[in-house]
Structure 1
């Protein structure tokens, strides 16, 4: 009898405890790539989870607008060239920065904001957000936001991108509670192996063959290939009638 009562109590207690990060389903962002100018599709499960938590990975399929985003974990000598092109072509971007980048590339961080770009939150230490506690999540984001404001004066930080695209529903929930919107992407290529450059033509072809209305483009600034291709990419997108907007245009927020 005692064992039965203890079992019932245990079940009741277990049901009252929220799922831990480790117990929840872990998602690793991915999608079917765009072909023939059509928007990519992440599939019903991903689409439902993102919609539930007001996250997104693409804009309207009816507008030839693209959104440039860059992930910066460390500086490899190519961000300045990318910023030069963005300034010359009058293209806004969002740079998702880590703590290491904030500490090691202060002049570039300041330049980003000074030239009208948005800094997003890529976490302080680049951990797997499906395995850390709620408090650890908040600390990761808070440190990035704090140092960004101290360096640049950017007071608001609306956008977050999980390291390596790994997340679960709890990390989405906590981000929303902290005032963040998760931003994934609908156009990307394998550009993060900085020690193995393949040339600007490769970057150009990889980007342009996936181009579609509403594209949220993810590029890594460690790639020399991206730096060599970006001016040609932007100019040819313009020739195709594309315009360039910031994430604030897509969400209605103000950074």
Structure 2
């Protein structure tokens, strides 16, 4: 077999794998989607798949805000603790910036003081499931249980309800989005992310700063992971520079229209 034919086979296999990742299948005979967006150059807003937009519209989800205004929505996925969340909260408090933290059951079992601090300091605490499974792999009752266990723990701690969900692993389908809406949740996806979630593969403050500043855009929903020391180190400089460029940091409640808090910028 010639080298050209072999190369073509690998291209076909790679394309097939990409299609599988974008819409694989569960034991329920359903498509499974992995959230993705298509970055643009020169700090322009990204796009995503048309059928993702249709699902977001149908089930009141968001991945980006108004792209004509310089608002930023800062969100953190918090699956477990790595000693960085207090540092991040210190920076947010110093800069007067709101954020959303999507937490798992780990925090209610081991880091309840951090949950209390997030809430006490005015940040949104969102549902990231109790055990971080892929929701499309679960049946309806299991999805509801994953949401309800986090919700119950948060309500017991704070007396408050949760409104926002970030699906664990970024996987979803119409069934799981429908369940979440019926349980009172809005999906919050993202229009910016980078490879920051591996504590053993951190590349330094400057790397994190450059990745964020290269892709930030009006209406951005930034996804950062709170386990990243790089994010914790770069966050203050990112906030200062974006404010200098005219951006305002807003709450997810501003994005969704639940309420419009006045922020000291």
TM-score, normalised on structure 1? 0.89
Q: Segments of 4+ in structure 1 off by > 4 A?
A: none
CA spacing shift, 1:142–1:212, aligned 2, 3 Å? same
Partners of 2:167 and 2:71 in 1: how far apart?
A: 24
- 1:68 equivalent to 2:74? Answer yes
Q: Would you say the 8 A contact 1:64–1:212 is kept in 2?
A: yes
Structure 1 SS opposite 2:201: coil
2:87 counterpart of 1:114: no
Matched residue SS, 2:232? helix
Equivalent residues of 1:21, 1:132 under 8 A apart: no
The answer (yes or no) to whether the contact 2:65–2:219 under 8 Å persists in 1 is: yes
Distance 2:158 2:199 in 1: 27
How many angstroms does 1:44 deviate by? 1.4
Query: Is the partner of 1:157 in helix, strand or coil?
Result: coil
Which one has the largest radius of gyration?
1
Q: CA deviation at 1:23?
A: 1.2
Task: Measure the CA separation in 1 of the matches of 2:158 and 2:80.
Answer: 18
Give per-residue Cα distances to partners, 1:195-237, cap 9 Å, x unaligned: 1221011100111111100000000010000000000000000
Distance 1:102 1:82 in 2: 19
Aligned residue in 2 for 1:210 = 215
Aligned equivalents of 2:141, 2:126: Cα separation in 1: 20
Residues 51 and 110 of structure 1: CA distance in aligned 2, closer, same or farther (over 3 Å): same
Alignment correspondent of 2:91:
85
SS in 1 for 2:136: coil
TM-score under structure 2 normalisation?
A: 0.86
Cα RMSD after superposing both structures: 1.6
Please say if 1:96 is aligned against 2:102. Answer: yes
Other structure's SS at 2:39 match: coil
Q: Does 1:156 align with 2:176?
A: no
1:200 to 177, 201, 205: 205
Aligned to 1:25: 31
**Aligned partners of 1:123 and 1:141 also within 8 Å:** yes
Aligned length: 236
Query: Please, which runs of 5 or more residues in structure 2 have no aligned partner?
Result: 1-25
Q: Is the 8 A contact 1:34 1:212 kept in 2?
A: no
Tell me the residue number matched to 2:196: 191
